[in-house]
């Protein structure tokens, strides 16, 4: 397959593994890249910039194909040393970075100066236009179906993807709700030139998650996600479980919800421990509505080949109607 995305990334297929906290490690990223997609290491999964350098080197020993690093830069009370992470990315020769968050803008000139291709994640076309004006190389546009933070405007991919494709001059990568060849074919027909998958790659053999978590994704239906932090104007889509149900219940109580009311339930350390121990109901598990399409745990190579084959079949079927 050849699109502006494959040309930009140097990959066989226009399929990107999203940067996912606690999941985007060398085992998964290298497997995706070896299978013809673009694997992504999640920068902030590594506790220090020095740990990120080691993970980049480890991934490089596992694949000779292109891979990238995700850097999500949101304002926080105690921000990590973002500049040091960026320096590690540059000094270790990474040429593709997936950025997210308003704070990423600060580091874009330095990355561009180092010859890095930037894919910026957006949930609104106006933000995508701003990012295009800043010189990013592609936009990953996230529909309301996506895992993680879909924004506050609730625009689904069926509307958001063609709007972005119409408005932008740079390539659009469709993200959110895609986990099959049919989804990829639909995204391409809507004007995207590539796809980004997160939840679907979590249910693969190489994903560094406990098998109980993978089985929970396979068992889940499309209705089995919760939207949390709605009252805080920081909406996140996660898997339905005991913890996220409690968060929804607390947010639904009369009166104002403060983050302090939720902190112990949603703590990142707690979520990571649940992922690693396989305790499905002990922490927040990020997942998108695409869990309804997840029915197996293939290798990354099997998944990508099946998606590409189905995509081609579906595009040919649709073309036969003409």
Residue pLDDT, tens place only, 162-184: 999 999 999 999 999 999 999 99
What range defines the domain where residue 181 resides?
A: 4-206
39/44 Cα distance (integer angstroms): 16
> Would you state the pLDDT for residue 80?
96
CATH of the domain at 49: 3.20.20.70
- Residue 62 CA to residue 60 CA, distance in Å, equals 5
pLDDT the model gives residue 205: 98
Residues 244 and 115 grouped into a single domain = no
**Predicted pLDDT at 81:** 97
User: Could you tell me if 229 and 263 are in contact, meaning their C-beta atoms sit under 8 angstroms apart?
Assistant: no
Model confidence at 78, in pLDDT bands (50, 70, 90)? confident
Give the angle 260-263-269 at the CA atoms, nearest 5°: 155
56 with 198, same domain?
Answer: yes
- Is residue 18 included in any domain, yes or no? yes
Q: Is residue 85 domain-resident?
A: yes
Same domain, 269 and 168: no
- Does 38 share its domain with 70? yes
Burial class (CB in 10 A: 0-12, 13-18, 19+), 37: buried
Domain co-membership, 26 together with 171: yes
As a whole number of angstroms, the longest Cα–Cα distance in the chain is 57
Q: Please state which of the ranges 29-43, 156-170, 264-278 shows the lowest mean pLDDT.
A: 264-278
């Amino acid at each position: 397959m050849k699109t502006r995305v494959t040309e930009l990334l140097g990959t066989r297929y226009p399929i990107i593994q999203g940067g996912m906290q606690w999941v985007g490690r060398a085992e998964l990223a290298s497997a995706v890249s070896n299978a013809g997609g673009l694997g992504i290491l999640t920068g902030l999964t590594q506790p220090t910039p020095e740990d990120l350098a080691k993970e980049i080197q480890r991934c490089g020993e596992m694949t000779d194909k292109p891979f990238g690093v995700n850097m999500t830069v949101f304002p926080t009370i105690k921000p990590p040393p973002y500049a040091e992470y960026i320096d590690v990315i540059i000094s270790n020769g990474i040429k593709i970075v997936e950025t997210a968050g308003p704070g990423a803008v600060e580091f874009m000139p330095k990355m561009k100066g180092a010859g890095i291709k930037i894919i910026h994640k957006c949930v609104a076309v106006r933000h995508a236009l701003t990012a295009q004006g800043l010189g990013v190389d592609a936009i990953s546009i996230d529909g309301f179906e996506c895992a993680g933070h879909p924004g506050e405007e609730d625009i689904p991919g069926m509307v958001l993807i063609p709007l972005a494709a119409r408005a932008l001059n740079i390539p659009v990568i469709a993200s959110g709700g895609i986990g099959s060849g049919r989804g990829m074919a639909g995204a391409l027909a809507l004007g995207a030139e590539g796809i980004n998958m997160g939840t679907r790659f979590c249910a693969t053999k190489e994903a560094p998650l406990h098998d109980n978590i993978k089985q929970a994704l396979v068992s889940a239906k499309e209705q089995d996600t919760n939207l949390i932090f709605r009252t805080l104007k920081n909406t996140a889509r996660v898997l339905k479980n005991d913890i996220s149900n409690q968060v929804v219940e607390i947010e639904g109580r009369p009166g104002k919800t403060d983050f302090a009311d939720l902190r112990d339930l949603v703590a990142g350390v707690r979520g990571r421990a649940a992922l690693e121990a396989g305790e499905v109901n002990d922490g927040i598990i990020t997942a998108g509505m695409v869990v309804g399409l997840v029915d197996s745990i293939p290798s990354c190579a099997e998944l990508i080949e099946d998606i590409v084959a189905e995509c081609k079949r579906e595009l040919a079927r649709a073309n036969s109607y003409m």
